[in-house]
Amino acid sequence: MTKKLLSIFILLVVYQFSNAQTTNTNISNGILFNGEPYLAINPTNNQNLVSAWMSLGLSNGQYRIAIKTRTSFDGGTSWSTANILPHFGAGFGSADVSMAFDKNGLLYISYIDYKQAPDSGGIYVARSFNGGLNWDTPTKAFDMYDVAAKRPIDRPWLVVDKSNTVNSGTLYITTKPAPWIAPPNRNYFKVSADSGHTWTSIANVDGGTHLVGNLIAQPMAAPTTTVNGNFCAAYPSYVASQNTYPAYYLAKSSNMGQTFSYTTIFSGLVTPIDTNFKSGYRLAASPIDSNKLVFLIPSGTNGDLDILAHHSNDGGQTWSNSIRVNDDALSNGKAQDMVWGAYNEQGNLVVTWRDRRNSTADGFWNAGYDFYYTTSTDNGQTFSANQKLTSQYVAFDTILTQSGNDMMGCVYSGDTLFSAWGDTRTGKMNIFFSKTIASTNTNVGLTLLTSEQPQLTIFPNPANDYLNVIISAEMIGKEVFVYDASGKKIATQPITDTNIKINTHTFSKGVYFLKIENEIKRFLKD
C-alpha cells in the first residue's frame, strides 16, 4: 500500500510539474529602460549562466546607457547582484554587448562605449575568471577612428575559437560603421591571440568578388567559429556584376582571418518591410560537426515577416533553400522578427524569436507579441511545433520603435533552453528570462528577483579559520553555498540563525564565493 501511495504521489508531482504555468523571471528589475540582452553558458559548467544587457540610469547628473551583468551558478534559478561595466569618458554611453566563453571557462565580454558629437570612444573587451561574477579592467579593441570616416564601432559581435586546433582561444570581433554613417560602407573585423589585450589591425570581412557594394548602409557581419578552427561570418551584398540579385555571403577563414574563401548563402529579390521590425540575422555552427552551419533571418518573402533558415551540411560550400521556421498560417499578416539561435552539445538546434501571431492587429503598429521557440534535430531541415516562451501576451508599446531593443538571446544545453528578451509588460522595457525543457515545453520555476540590495554581510575578509555571515531573518531555513574560483560547489550549510560561521580552516588559499538565494559575496582565504 505504501509503495502504491508513493507511486501516485510521484505521478502527481510529475503531472503538476509538466503542466505548470510558464514562468518568466525579471532579471533587470529596471524602472527606466533595459534592453538587448545577451546570454552565455559555461562549457565547463552548464549551471553557470551569465546575462548582460543595456540599462538606462542616472550617472553624474546624466541619463545614459551602461552595460549590466548578472551571474547564476544554479542554472538560472537565482542570480547574483548586478555588475556595471565602466565608461571611458565624460558623457559616454554603452551599447551592443556580447559575450563568449572559451573552452576552458574563461569568459569575455565586449561592448561599445562612446560619445557622438564630438565622436569619441570605441569597443572594449573585459575578462572574467570566475564565471561572470567579476570583470577585470576592460581594454580597447576598436577605436572610433580606426577607419576615420566610417566610425567602425557598431554591432561588435564577439566570438571565440573553442576548437582543439592551433586557433584555440583566438578571439574575433566583427563590426560595421556607426548608424549615422551613409553608404558606401563595409564590414570589419579584428583578431586577438592574447585574451583580448592586443588586436590585429582593422581589416574587411568582404573582399574579392564578394564585396558589400555601395548601396547597403548597415552591412552587419554575423560571426561564428567552427569545431575545426574556422572563423566564419555572414553578411549582405548587392553588386550587380557579382550577383544579379541582392545576396548574403559566407566568408570563411582557417588562418585567423589572414585570408578568406567566399560562398553564396542565398540571393533573391528584396521584399520591402516596415523598418521598425528587427531584421537582424544570426549565423551559428554545430559544436560537434564542422560541416553543419545554419543562417537565420527574418524575411518578407511570403508577404509578412517570417523566420527563415538556410542550412549547410558541407561547411558552407552549399546551402539549402529557405525553410520557414514559424508554423502559423502562411501570409496571415502576422510578423515574426528578432531571431536568435543556438546549438546544444549534441548538435541539436534551437531557434527563438518575437512573434505576433496572437495579435488582432496585422503588421507592426498596435500588434502585441509573445516570444516563441522551436527545435531541430536535423540541422534545420525540419522543425518541431512552435512553443511559447512568454508567460503572458505583451501589448504593443511605442518604445519598440526606438533603439535598444533589437535582439534577444538564448543558449541550449542538453534538453534545456535558456532564453532572455526585453518586453514591456511592466510598463517599462525590462529583461525577462525563462528556463524551459525544450522537448516537452515544460517550464522550470525560478526564483523571482525583487531587489538588488544585499541581504548579507561577511567578515573577516580575508578569512582564516572561520567566515562570519550576518543574514536577514527571512533567510533562516535556507542554505548557504560556497564555490571555489572555478565555480565548483565545495560546501553547503543550513542557515539556522541570523549569525552563522563557515569553517574555512581546510580551504586552500585563494578566491571563494558565498551564495545565499540570489546574493553572492566574494571572499579570500589567507
Reported in sequence order, the residue ranges of 116-211 that DSSP labels E, i.e. its strands, are 120-128, 139-143, 154-160, 171-176, 188-192, 203-204
* pLDDT above 60: residue 170: yes
Span 345-353, average pLDDT:
98
State which amino acid sits at residue 204: N
Q: Are residues 320 and 243 in the same domain?
A: no
CATH number of the domain within which 492 lies: 2.60.40.10
- Here the cell at position 130 is 570566475
Q: Are residues 186 and 259 in the same domain?
A: yes
Residue 523 pLDDT class (50, 70, 90 cuts) = confident
Span 326-353, average pLDDT:
97
Residue 172: strand pairing partners: 159, 191
Stretch among 19-23, 452-456, 475-479, 489-493 having the lowest mean pLDDT: 452-456
* pLDDT above 70: residue 453: no
Residue 450 pLDDT class (50, 70, 90 cuts) = very low
Chain segment 85-139, per-residue pLDDT in tens: 999 999 999 999 999 999 999 999 999 999 999 999 999 999 999 999 999 999 9
510 inside domain: yes
What pLDDT does 270 receive? 82
What is the extent of the structural domain holding 162?
145-269
Q: Are residues 326 and 425 in the same domain?
A: yes
From residue 480, give the alpha-carbon distance in Å to each of 139, 200, 358, 456, 495. Answer: 35, 45, 43, 11, 7
Q: Are residues 340 and 209 in the same domain?
A: no
- Here the cell at position 337 is 522578427
Residues contacting residue 444 through CB under 8 Å, at least 6 positions apart: 23, 75, 76, 77, 416, 435, 436, 437
110 inside domain: no
Chain segment 473-484, per-residue pLDDT in tens: 677 888 899 988
Domain closes at, from 254, 269, 284: 269
Return contacts of 121-127, CB within 8 angstroms, 24+ apart: 121/88, 121/89, 121/92, 121/153, 122/88, 122/146, 122/153, 123/153, 123/156, 123/173, 123/175, 124/85, 124/88, 125/158, 125/171, 125/173, 125/192, 125/196, 126/85, 126/196, 127/195, 127/196
From residue 245, give the alpha-carbon distance in Å to each of 162, 206, 237, 239, 242. Answer: 35, 17, 9, 8, 9
Q: Which residue from 192, 187, 219 is spatially nearest to 203, judged by alpha carbons?
A: 187
513 inside domain: yes
* pLDDT above 60: residue 13: no
Q: Are residues 422 and 432 in the same domain?
A: yes
- Here the cell at position 308 is 527563415
CA angle 225, 226, 232 (to 5 degrees): 50
Residue 15 pLDDT class (50, 70, 90 cuts) = very low
Domain count, the chain: 3
Residue 445 pLDDT class (50, 70, 90 cuts) = low
Residues contacting residue 240 through CB under 8 Å, at least 6 positions apart: none
Pairing of strands 519-525, 510-516: antiparallel
Distance CA 442, CA 16 (A): 10
What pLDDT does 517 receive? 75
What pLDDT does 2 receive? 40
Distance CA 297, CA 295 (A): 7
Span 448-458, average pLDDT:
52
DSSP 197-218: SS-PPPEES-BTTB---SS-S-
Q: Are residues 259 and 322 in the same domain?
A: no
Neighbours of 112 (CB within 10 A): 25
Q: Are residues 253 and 194 in the same domain?
A: yes
171 inside domain: yes
Torsion (CA) 509, 513, 514, 516 in degrees, nearest 10: -170
Residues contacting residue 101 through CB under 8 Å, at least 6 positions apart: 40, 41, 42, 43, 107, 108, 160, 162
* pLDDT above 80: residue 373: yes
State which amino acid sits at residue 26: N
The reported pTM is 0.83
* pLDDT above 60: residue 1: no
Domain closes at, from 226, 241, 269: 269
Chain segment 178-192, per-residue pLDDT in tens: 999 999 999 999 999
Q: Are residues 421 and 285 in the same domain?
A: yes
Span 460-478, average pLDDT:
82
Neighbours of 501 (CB within 10 A): 12
What pLDDT does 446 receive? 53
Distance CA 46, CA 38 (A): 16
Q: Are residues 244 and 375 in the same domain?
A: no
From residue 459, give the alpha-carbon distance in Å to each of 147, 286, 326, 515. Answer: 50, 46, 53, 14
What percentage of the chain has pLDDT greater than the value 70?
93
Chain segment 268-322, per-residue pLDDT in tens: 988 888 999 999 999 999 999 999 999 999 999 999 999 999 999 999 999 999 9
Please give the radius of gyration of the chain, using alpha carbons only, rounded to the nearest integer: 23
CATH number of the domain within which 427 lies: 2.120.10.10
* pLDDT above 60: residue 382: yes
Q: Are residues 289 and 402 in the same domain?
A: yes
Chain segment 231-278, per-residue pLDDT in tens: 999 999 999 999 999 999 999 999 999 999 999 999 998 888 899 999
CB 424 within 8 A of CB 369: no
Neighbours of 427 (CB within 10 A): 8
Distance CA 125, CA 115 (A): 17
Span 461-483, average pLDDT:
84
346 inside domain: yes
Residues contacting residue 486 through CB under 8 Å, at least 6 positions apart: 44, 45, 105, 130, 131
Chain segment 33-65, per-residue pLDDT in tens: 999 999 999 999 999 999 999 999 877 777 899
376 inside domain: yes
CB 308 within 8 A of CB 366: no
* pLDDT above 60: residue 153: yes
What pLDDT does 179 receive? 93
Domain closes at, from 404, 426, 452: 452
What pLDDT does 455 receive? 57
Q: Are residues 184 and 276 in the same domain?
A: no
136 inside domain: no
Q: Are residues 160 and 232 in the same domain?
A: yes
Distance CA 196, CA 286 (A): 24
CB 222 within 8 A of CB 158: no
**Which of residues 394 and 15 earns the better pLDDT score?**
394
Torsion (CA) 157, 162, 166, 172 in degrees, nearest 10: 0
Residue 235: strand pairing partners: 249
CB 233 within 8 A of CB 221: yes
Distance CA 389, CA 417 (A): 10
What percentage of the chain has pLDDT greater than the value 90?
77
139 inside domain: no
* pLDDT above 90: residue 11: no
